[in-house]
Amino acid sequence: MIKDIKYFIAQTKANFGNAHALAGSFWIGVFSMILNNLAFFIIWILFMRSTGVINGWTSMDVFGMLGVAMLCFGVCHSFFYGLVELPEIVMQGTFDNVLLSPINSFLKLSSSYFSITAYGDLFMGLFVVIFYGIYMKFSFYIWIIFILAILSGCTIFICIRFLYSLVTFFIYDGEIISQQLFEVFLRPGLYPGGIFPNKMKIFFMTVVPALLTSALPIDIIKNSSISILLFSFLVTTFWIFVTIFVYKIAVKRYESGNLLR
Amino acid sequence: MKKGFYYIYIVAKNTVEQKKKVIFQMVNHIIFLLVSLFLYKHVYELVPSMKDKLPFPNTVWSMSVYFIIFWLGLRNIERNLRKDIRTGNIEIYLLRPIGYIWQKVFVQIGTGLIAFLSATILSVLVDYFLVGLPVLNSSILYWVFCIFVVFILSQILTCFIFVLCGLSAFWLENSEPIYFVVSKLIMIFGGAWVPIAFFPKLFQLFAEYSPFGASMSVSFIMYPDFAERFPFIILNLIFWILFSYILTIIVSKRAFKKLAVNG
Q: What is the pLDDT of residue A248?
A: 92
Domains of chain A, by residue range, sit at 2-253
The conformational region for residue B99 under phi > 0 = left, psi -120 to 50 = alpha, else beta, is beta
Looking at the DSSP assignment, which residues form a beta bridge with residue A54? A57
Q: Which helix (H) or strand (E) holds A122?
A: helix A116-135
- Residue pLDDT, tens place only, A69-83: 999 999 999 899 999
What is the pLDDT tens value at each position of chain B, 263 positions in all?
A: 777 888 888 888 887 777 888 888 899 899 989 999 999 999 999 988 888 889 999 999 999 999 999 999 999 999 999 888 888 888 888 888 788 889 899 999 999 999 999 999 999 999 999 999 999 888 999 999 999 999 999 999 999 999 999 999 888 867 788 888 899 899 888 888 888 888 888 888 998 889 999 999 999 999 998 888 899 999 999 999 999 999 999 999 998 887 776 65
Cα–Cα distance for residue pair B39/A192, rounded to 1 Å: 10
Asked if A50 and B38 come within 8 Å (Cβ–Cβ), the reply is no
**Residue A32 neighbours by CB distance under 10 Å:** 21
> HSE-up of A105 (CA within 13 Å, CB side)?
13
The 10s digit of each residue's pLDDT in A43-94 is 998 888 888 888 889 999 999 999 999 999 999 998 999 999 888 888 887 8
Q: What's residue B44's pLDDT? A: 92
The percent of residues above 90 in pLDDT, for chain A, comes to 46
Q: Return all residues near A105 (Cβ < 8 A) that are at least 6 apart.
A: A98, A99, A251
pLDDT of residue A258: 59
pLDDT of residue B244: 96
For the ranges A129-133, A176-180, B70-74, B239-243, which has the lowest average pLDDT? A176-180
- How many beta carbons lie within 10 A of that of residue A240, not counting itself? 14
Cβ atoms within 10 Å of B86's Cβ, excluding its own: 13
The model carries a pTM of 0.89
Neighbours of A246 (CB within 10 A): 17
* pLDDT in the model for residue B258: 79
Residues of chain B in Cβ contact (below 8 Å) with chain A: 18, 20-21, 24-25, 27-28, 31-32, 35, 38-40, 42-43, 46-47, 50, 53, 173-174, 176-177, 180-181, 184-185, 187-188, 192-194, 198-200, 203
Q: Answer whether A58 touches B (CB < 8 Å).
A: no
Q: What is the pLDDT of residue B262?
A: 60
CA distance B70 to B85: 24
Q: What is the model's pLDDT at position A259?
A: 54
The confidence score (pLDDT) of residue B178 equals: 86
Query: Residue B102 contacts by C-beta under 8 Å, 6 or more apart in sequence?
Result: B4
| A184: closest CA of chain B, how far (Å) | 6
A24-44 confidence digits (pLDDT tens): 777 887 888 888 889 899 999
CA B67 to mean position of chain CA atoms? 8
Q: Do B24 and A177 touch (CB under 8 A)?
A: yes
Residue B143 CA to residue B133 CA, distance in Å, equals 11
